[in-house]
Structure 1
Amino acid sequence: MKRMRLGSAAAIAAGTLAATGLAFAPTAAAVTPQTATISATCSLIGSGVATLTATQTGTAATITVSSTEITTPIGLGEDSVAATLTLVKASGGTTVFSGTENPAIPAGGGVTVGPLTGTVAPGDSLEAFGGSLQLSVLGIPITCTASAAQSPSPFVFE
């Protein structure tokens, strides 16, 4: 009888540990793909390939835009660039991501902004081509546009 209770207690403990492990396991990324690239042209700062990295938690989403080919002619301090990224919805309309986060960027360094925050709905399919990235650097407006569809595909949010 004692063995049966000990075996039952061990099984319950193992089940509890397994359930607790599942509760604390990291959640899967809800957006696919998580990264995409675009060829972009930006007024004043040139053109080149940029990478967009997306994350999602429920209806909250972030996108970070970075490029080693699109560079700044002057050094920029941390969190000194205001950015608004407008992506085109496959179903019509646009979704806007914005923020003022960026690392310190040395003169001649590649541009990185984000994470830029926005709100998405389940099933949203968002594409950079047809949208824009508006930057404000020291009060100077800079507009970036994609010259073709993002690769490998638009972002699809769950």
Structure 2
Amino acid sequence: MRHGRLVLCSALGTGALTLGALVLAPTSAAVDPQTATLDFECGSFGAGAATLKATQNGTSATIELSTSAITAPIAIGAGAVNSTLTLTKNGTGTTTFTGNANPAIPAGSPISSGPLNGTVAPGDSLAAKSLKVVVFGATVTCNATSEQKPGPFVF
């Protein structure tokens, strides 16, 4: 009888610990979709497709982007591209994601930047509107010419 109680108490204790761990575990937030595409027009610098990849950790979010709308005229070192991505927020306002964490970009290659950092709230719906890239003091501004597909990022 004593052995049966020990097993029952042990099982109940394990269950309580597991439940406690689940309650105290940080919530994992998800963004949907995680990848989206759209087209940018960048004036005399060109036009082309862009791919955006979003991730979320609580109220912090990052977006990595690459676009064939702008190509590097010369090799660009890591961290030399300052980018500001402006997104429509919930259909009425805007928000920005910024950063300069680009990888090294060989001459003639599409510009890649990110992660660009921003803040989100649960339920935020964000769609790319414009991109400003500053490289070696030269500023390139691109405007979205298509809807983000498959749709806005929802956090």
Q: Normalized against structure 1, the TM-score is what?
A: 0.83
- Identical columns (%): 53
CA displacement at 1:142 relative to structure 2:
0.6
Gaps of 5+ in 1: none
Q: Is 1:35–1:52's contact at 8 Å kept on the other side of the alignment?
A: yes
1:87-143: CA deviation from partner (whole Å, max 9, x where unpaired): 112341210111111001111122111111112223221111xx2100000000011
Aligned residue for 1:101?
A: 101
Q: Quick one: distance in 1 between partners of 2:132 and 2:34?
A: 22
Question: In the alignment, is residue 152 of structure 1 matched against residue 140 of structure 2?
Answer: no
Aligned residue for 1:4?
A: 4
Q: Quick one: distance in 1 between partners of 2:75 and 2:27?
A: 37
Number of aligned residues: 155
Gaps of 5+ in 2: none
Instruction: Please tell me the residue identity of whatever aligns with 2:5.
Output: R
* C-alpha spacing 1:61/1:7, structure 2 compared with 1 (3 Å): same
Q: Is 2:27–2:58's contact at 8 Å kept on the other side of the alignment?
A: no
Instruction: Please tell me the residue identity of whatever aligns with 1:40.
Output: F
Aligned residue for 2:118?
A: 118
* C-alpha spacing 1:68/1:20, structure 2 compared with 1 (3 Å): farther
Which structure 2 residues correspond to residues 4-153 of structure 1 after superposition, within 5 A? 4-12=4-12, 14-15=14-15, 18-19=18-19, 22=22, 28-67=28-67, 70-128=70-128, 131-153=129-151
Q: Quick one: distance in 2 between partners of 1:110 and 1:20?
A: 48
1:7-45: CA deviation from partner (whole Å, max 9, x where unpaired): 124414542564477479785442211111011122454
Q: Normalized against structure 2, the TM-score is what?
A: 0.84
- 2:47 partner SS: strand
What is the CA RMSD across the aligned residues, in angstroms? 2.5
Instruction: Please tell me the residue identity of whatever aligns with 1:119.
Output: T
Q: Is 2:29–2:58's contact at 8 Å kept on the other side of the alignment?
A: no
